[in-house]
């Protein structure tokens, strides 16, 4: 079995209300490819996943965003859900964490409602990306170009619309980190 991400470390940033499959599926795919994955959050201890609007499992947090250093990671994954990115975009440290990854030229993968963090971090201007359709106006108003596609990868930003797009999202994430 090939491990193209051996020696790579990836941060997944999330908090309560994360869409569970958008957290667990990339995590599993990254680990299967050989990466070390750490859950970074705005809170310590654990976060609660959701299956749509229903509470699901809890996940242990490895580091708070204040404890985490961009230099320690090769990429950042931002899972969606509605409550998760909405809470994260109100935290200045979380927003700075996202902006720092983009400034460092490291891949940032955001799915569903997670591109709200890209908007808040001011990194979408001039870029084409996708998201859950309700973010279209936010992305366009921030100077980005929203498209309704399974996957976009431009300027280090990897974006997808919803859980149905996870096959393409995870494949492109692994490819981008391995490159």
Rounded average pLDDT over 48-75: 97
Task: Tell me the average pLDDT of the chain.
Answer: 97
The pLDDT of residue 2 = 76
Share of the chain above pLDDT 90, in %: 98
pLDDT of 139 over the 70 cut: yes
Task: Decide if 33 is inside a domain.
Answer: yes
- The tens digit of pLDDT for each residue in 107-120 reads 999 999 999 999 99
Amino acid 69: pLDDT: 98
Out of 78, 102, 112, 166, which one is annotated catalytic? Answer: 112
Q: Domain count of the chain?
A: 1
Residue 4 lies in a domain: no
Q: How confident is the model at residue 1 (pLDDT cuts 50, 70, 90)?
A: low
Gap between the Cα atoms of 37 and 58, Å rounded: 16
- As given in the structure block, the two tokens for residue 29 are 């795919």
- pLDDT grade, residue 59 (50/70/90)? very high
What is d(CA 43, CA 179) in angstroms, rounded to the nearest whole number?
32
Establish if 2 belongs to a structural domain. Answer: no
Q: Confirm whether 114 is domain-assigned.
A: yes
* 22-32 average pLDDT score: 98
Residues 6+ apart with CB under 8 A from 68: 11, 38, 40, 97
Q: Is residue 26 part of a domain?
A: yes
Q: Is 112 assigned a catalytic role?
A: yes
CATH assignment at residue 64: 3.40.50.880
Query: Considering the entire predicted model, what is its pTM?
Result: 0.98
The per-residue pLDDT for range 142-178, each reduced to its tens digit, is: 999 999 999 999 999 999 999 999 999 999 999 999 9
**Full domain range(s) for residue 88:** 9-178
């Amino acid at each position: 079995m090939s491990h193209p991400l051996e020696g790579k470390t990836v941060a997944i940033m999330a908090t309560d209300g994360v869409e569970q499959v958008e957290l667990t599926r990339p995590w599993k795919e990254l680990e299967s490819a050989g990466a070390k994955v750490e859950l970074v959050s705005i809170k310590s201890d654990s976060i609660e996943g959701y299956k749509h609007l229903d509470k699901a499992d809890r996940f242990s947090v490895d580091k708070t965003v204040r404890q985490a250093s961009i230099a320690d990671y090769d990429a950042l994954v931002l899972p969606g859900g509605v409550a998760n990115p909405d809470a994260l975009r109100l935290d200045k440290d979380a927003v700075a964490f996202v902006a720092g990854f983009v400034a460092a030229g490291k891949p940032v993968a955001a799915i569903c409602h997670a591109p709200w963090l890209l908007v808040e971090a001011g990194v979408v201007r001039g870029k084409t990306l996708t998201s859950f359709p309700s973010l279209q106006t936010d992305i366009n108003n921030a100077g980005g170009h929203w498209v309704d596609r399974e996957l976009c990868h431009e300027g280090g930003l990897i974006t997808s619309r919803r859980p149905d797009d996870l096959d393409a999202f995870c494949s492109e994430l692994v490819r981008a980190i391995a490159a």
